[in-house]
Amino acid sequence: MHPHDQTIFALSSGRLPSAIAIVRLSGSHAGSALQMLVGRLPVPRMATRALLRDGSGEPIDDAVVLWFPGPASATGEDVVELHVHGSRAVIATLFSLLSAMPQMRTAEPGEFTRRAFENGKIDLTEAEGLDDLIHADTDRQRRQALRQLKGLLGDRARSWRDQIIEASALIEAGIDFADEGDVPAELMAPALARIGQLLTEIESVLSAQGRAERLRDGLTVVIAGPPNAGKSTLMNQLARREVAIVSPHAGTTRDLIEVQLDLDGYPVTVIDTAGIRETNDPIEQEGVRRARDRAAQADLVLWLAEDDQADIERQGEAPVWLVRNKIDLSGDREGDCPSSSGDNPAFHISARSGAGLAQLLEALVGFARDYFGSIESGLITRERQRTLLDQTTAALRRSISAIDLGEELAAEELRIAALALGRLLGRVDVEDLLDVIFREFCIGK
């Protein structure tokens, strides 16, 4: 699929122009390209200042170059890094020179990482961690991605897989040994005990997990309520900028408006919606439909209203907090107030003046903290990983109950369990999946 006789290159740093731009090359022709540009190969792994020149000896830029001969490199192949001045002209000249070299082409998104993976430098969970780290917006996301990148889940999965293979070797040895008749108990007992232990261990990782996957995606808070309650005003306050149009005209907001917030390190998406009411305007009807739809999928709904007796509409499972707005008009005290909606808290605010917003924000941070739970220790960050671990435990459970029916059956279930862990690590038939995963990466990564 990926002809590795091709050497790839890409801009691995950010948008141009920039003070410095880093162009990375990987593949068997990286060294000769460097030699052509610099006139020699520098000492490996040492930052070296060099004048880059084109084929006719014309200088391109004064640069710092790095030479990482494979396999001791990030991708496992020969790697070159060119740290040049980040101007569009320098990069354009360099790229046209590189493109003209034989067996040299620009990299596809994630292709460097993919080569690292294919050369056994990282496993799939680490590649996913790398992707998460690059896309981490908040501090907590960064820490979680870094744990993944360090291979904590990968290390555990590798050890589980080894133990499963050992247990099945014990059973299979017994099968050969027994010829006809039953596998001797002295072989089966330790194998069974090991499978039982493993099962408990993987199950505890699965259940301690809670919502680490969600830390990647964030928590969704929907602002809903009747028209003119001040939803868009609150949205703008939370976003600290004018993202939504505010007007005294009921039915101003039609589309869903999203902002990403970093609430004390937790990623939270806040969504402003159309005021919910009966209407004959087909466009507003569509807005109301979208508002209800989004509220149904929310993790938390803030129901904004102008009085405590507001008719809260519940769409999904999510808790709904009553937020009474415009207390500057009613003269009510700010802050949280005795609950008027069952177990859920209620708040008194003025979205316009900002009164009571501090208490609301504090409660949101508390909600996020509870919601994400003790994910600091979580290992699983993706649905893919959870699904495969679920498959592993299911197969282990089946293998334990299959023991009485026959050792071959039990051994077969263990093979299925080991296969699921192999998939988790990206070691077995995941070609189709690789395309999906690496496509999400940035170019130059």
- Contact residues toward Mg ion (CB under 5 A) are 231-232, 252-253
- Segment near K ion (CB under 5 A); pick from 48-56, 78-86, 220-228, 359-367: 220-228
Q: Which of 152, 273, 146, 150 is nearest to 215 (CA)?
A: 146
**Choice between 149 and 291, CB closer to ligand GTP:** 291
DSSP state of 265: T
- In whole angstroms, the minimum distance from the beta carbon of 260 to ligand GTP comes to 19
- Tell me the Ramachandran region of residue 343: left when phi exceeds 0, alpha when psi lies from -120 to 50, beta otherwise: alpha
The annotation status of 100 as a binding-site residue, yes or no, is: no
Tell me: does residue 228 bind K ion (CB under 5 A).
Answer: yes
Does 252 bind K ion (CB under 5 A)? Our answer is yes
334 annotated as ligand-binding: no
> What's the distance, Cα to Cα, between the start and end of the chain in Å?
19
Which of the ranges 169-177, 243-251, 328-336, 428-436 carries the binding residues for K ion, by CB under 5 A? Answer: 243-251
CB of 321 to Mg ion, least distance (A): 18
Nearest distance from C-beta of residue 311 to ligand GTP, angstroms: 15
Is the alpha carbon torsion for 402, 403, 408, 414 positive or negative?
positive
Of the listed pieces 39-47, 123-131, 322-330, 422-430, which binds ligand GTP according to CB under 6 A?
322-330
Stretch that binds ligand GTP, among 26-34, 90-98, 228-236, 358-366 (CB under 6 A): 228-236
**251-260, long-range: CB within 8 Å, 24+ apart, which pairs?**
251/227, 251/275, 251/277, 251/279, 251/281, 251/284, 251/287, 252/227, 253/287, 254/283, 254/284, 254/286, 254/287, 255/287, 255/290, 256/290, 256/291, 256/294, 257/232, 259/235, 260/137, 260/218
Shortest CB 249 distance to K ion, Å:
5
Q: Is 253 in the site for ligand GTP (CB under 6 A)?
A: yes
| Sole binder of ligand GTP in the list 214, 326, 348, 384 (CB under 6 A) | 326
267, 214 in Cβ contact below 8 A?
no
Indicate the DSSP class of residue 133.
H
Nearer to Mg ion, 73 or 253 (CB): 253
223 binds, among ligand GTP, Mg ion, K ion, none (CB under 5 to 8 A by kind): none
CB 439 → ligand GTP: shortest distance, Å? Answer: 37
Scan for tokens 């990782």, then name that residue: 205
Euclidean distance between CA atoms 206 and 303, whole angstroms? 34
Is residue 121 a known part of a binding site? yes
Q: Which is nearer to K ion, 54 or 328 (CB)?
A: 328
Q: Please choose, from the candidates 331, 320, 325, the residue with its C-alpha nearest in 3D space to the C-alpha of residue 307.
A: 325
Yes or no: say if 360 and 208 are a contact pair by the CB < 8 Å rule. Answer: no
**Total residue length of the chain:** 445
Return left, alpha or beta for 213; rule: phi > 0 is left, psi -120 to 50 is alpha, else beta: alpha
At residue 186, the 3 state secondary structure works out as helix
Q: Is 247 annotated among the ligand-binding residues?
A: yes
**340 phi and psi, to 5 degrees?**
-115, 10
Is 272 one of the annotated binding-site residues? Answer: yes
* Shortest distance in whole angstroms from residue 273 CB to Mg ion: 8
**List 230, 267, 345, 422, residue binding ligand GTP (CB under 6 A):** 230
Q: Quick one: 3 or 282, whose CB is closer to ligand GTP?
A: 282
Which residues define the annotated binding site for GTP?
228-233, 247-253, 272-275, 350-352
Sites of contact with ligand GTP (CB under 6 A)? 227-233, 246-248, 250-253, 274-275, 325-326, 328-329, 350-352
Return binding residues for Mg(2+): 232, 253
